[in-house]
Structure 1
Amino acid sequence: MRREAQQEPAYVIHRRPWRETSLMVDLFTLNHGRMSVIARGASGSKSPLKAQLQPFQPLMLGWVGRGDLKTLTHIDVRDGPALHRTLSLYSGLYLNELIQRVLPQADPHQTLFAAYIEALAQLAQTSDVEPVLRKFEQAFAAALGFDFSWALATDTGQPVSAAQSYCYDPEQGIVAAVSIGVRLQNLPGETLLALAAGDYESVASRRISKRVMRVLTDYLLQGRPLNSRSLFNHLRGERHES
């Protein structure tokens, strides 16, 4: 059955050459989730499509097609924030890689789409990217069914106590007892409660949230690499040398 879409909000998350003059473009869309389209002739010298189909650019797209791979028929470029800082750009690439490598195809996630738009807007305005990344990672995990509360120990059903230490299991969330699935231990209850209250700024909150979300994203990736992490490591190396 031939399917058609018009004026669909979308972002480019990856693109690559397709045959001689076209591009295969991976998209994150509002109503169709992650999907791919062929932009015919986009690599041609006279085509404006190559310049328009850029990551982080808000787009309204149209396409037709029967299978998983559609053919782009229309593109309307909208105004949006620009990621000029290197760290913000790498952070945006990280978000795109998470979506491309983990999010199932043709599985709409409108709440995650809104979180993505908000993250791009914040990355364009700040040089402090860590709180932005942590909040998006949690929204991303929630979309895939791995949401958890910083303030609740799921194995006991009891609220987190500031005076106790806790563990983290990607499949259960915060837990009070060490078990087979536990990946992190000795997480201070006081810091977990601060995170539950929205504190991603303090040193302790940054450290714990980064450790937890790294374990969770690695679990979701199931061994698939992220090129953007290499970019972050390279950038850190340059800063240490300067």
Structure 2
Amino acid sequence: MKTAVQQQPAYVLHRRPYRETSLLVEVFSLDAGRMTLVARGANAARSPLKAQLQPFQPLLLDWQGRGDLKTLTQTEVRPGPVLARTQALYSGLYINELLQRLLPVADPQPELFAAYIETLAQLAQTQDLEPVLRRFEAAFADAMGLSFDWAWATDVGEAVAAGGVYGYDPEQGIVSGAAAGVRLQGLPGEVLLALADGDLASPDCRRLAKRVMRTLIDHLLQGRTLNSRALFSQGRGDRR
């Protein structure tokens, strides 16, 4: 039996040609999570869908079909922020690629969807992109079941102490400096405590947060690469 969905808030994560004139469109939707839709005729020269089905564009979508691959039946474009600056655009492509490559299919994540909307708005408004990306990565870690407390060493069940030295493991979170086989070591307790208080302004906090989130993302990728990282390295700075 065919299922039909109407007026579903969604964003395009990626699209690619399909057959002669269609597109396969990967979307992140509020109630259905990540999924792939067939947009029939969308790749034809005169189709308005080619311009409508763009990344970062808020959409209301209708679809129907059986199985995992549904057919897009209606698209409504909604107003939204514009990622006009190069680094903001690269940052948007980075978070899209995280969702496309790592988020399980058909796994609704309404809190992450809300974080995604807020992240796009902030990327369009600010030139200080690092805190925006770190907050989204934290929301993504939570959605993937890998959230952690900056101020708690899980292996010993104790609060982080200023002056102590700690490590980070993606499956455990923050651990004591004595923990064996930890991927990331030498993390100062005072910086972890500052991060627990929400400090993403100081250089030490920014460096440590980026190291930790990079370790977490690499753990999820399991040796695969992110194309968006190459864009950052070609630009003026590496913020992801």
TM-score, L = length of structure 1: 0.96
1:8 aligns with 2:11: no
CA contact (8 A) 2:152 2:160 kept: yes
178-187 or 68-77, which deviates more: 178-187
In structure 1, what is the equivalent of residue 193 of structure 2? 193
Q: What is residue 240 of structure 1 aligned with on the other side?
A: none
- The yes-or-no answer on 1:95 pairing with 2:95 is yes
May I ask how many residue pairs the two structures share in their alignment? 237
- Which deviations, in whole Å up to 9, do the C-alpha atoms of 1:147-188 show, x marking residues without a partner? 000011111111111121110011000001343441111101
Q: Which residue of 1 aligns with 2:67?
A: 67
Aligned counterpart, 1:56: 56
Q: C-alpha offsets along residues 72-109 of structure 1, whole Å, 9 cap, x if unaligned?
A: 00111000000000000000000000000000000000
Q: In structure 1, what residue type is equivalent to 2:21?
A: T
Give the equivalent residue in structure 1 for 2:203.
203
Distance in structure 1 (CA, Å) of the matches to 2:136 and 2:181: 24
Q: 1:168–1:175: 8 Å Cα contact kept in structure 2?
A: yes
Is 1:176 the counterpart of 2:171? The answer is no
For 1:13 and 1:218, the matched residues in 2 are separated by 20
Q: Structure 1: which 5+ residue stretches go unaligned?
A: 238-242
Instruction: Indicate conservation of the 8 Å contact 2:58/2:77, yes or no.
Output: yes
| Kept in 2: contact 1:195–1:205 (CA 8 A) | yes
Deviation at 1:43, TM superposition (A): 1.1
Preserved contact between residue 169 and residue 175 of structure 1 (Cα < 8 Å): yes
Report if the CA contact (8 A) 2:177-2:185 is conserved.
no
Secondary structure of the 1:138 match is helix
For 1:72, give the aligned amino acid: L
Write the distance in 2 (CA, Å) between the matches of 1:189 and 1:171.
19
Distance 2:84 2:65 in 1: 35
2:177–2:186 Cα contact (<8 Å) kept: no
- Which residues in structure 2 correspond to 1:148-163 (within 5 Å)? 148-163=148-163
Partner of 1:113 in structure 2? Answer: 113
Residues 101, 224 of structure 1: 8 Å contact kept: no
Give the Cα separation in 2 of the matches to 1:97 and 1:38. Answer: 19
Would the aligned equivalents of 1:170 and 1:181 in 2 still touch at CA under 8 Å?
A: no
Tell me the secondary structure at the aligned position of residue 204 of structure 1. Answer: helix
Amino acid at match of 2:55: P
Answer with 176-185 or 102-111: which moved more: 176-185
Q: What SS is found at the alignment partner of 1:37?
A: strand
Partner of 1:217: 217
Deviations 1:44-72 (A, max 9, x none): 12210000000000000000010111100
Helix, strand or coil for the counterpart of 2:92?
A: helix
Amino acid paired to 1:152: W
Matched residue SS, 1:23: strand
Equivalent position of 1:23 in the other structure: 23
CA distance in 1, matches of 2:181, 2:41: 49
Write the distance in 2 (CA, Å) between the matches of 1:98 and 1:210. 15
2:155 and 2:177 mapped to 1: Cα distance? 8
Assess if the C-alpha contact under 8 Å between 2:155 and 2:179 holds in 1. no
Change (3 A) 1:150 1:30: same
- Contact 2:34/2:100, CA 8 A, preserved across alignment: yes
**Alignment RMSD (CA, Å):** 1.0
Give the match for residue 134 of structure 2. 134
Unaligned runs of 5+ in 2: none
Q: Which residue of 2 aligns with 1:37?
A: 37
Q: 3-state SS of the aligned residue for 1:236? A: coil
1:178–1:185 Cα contact (<8 Å) kept: no
Identity, % of aligned pairs? Answer: 66
The residue type paired with residue 123 of structure 1 is L
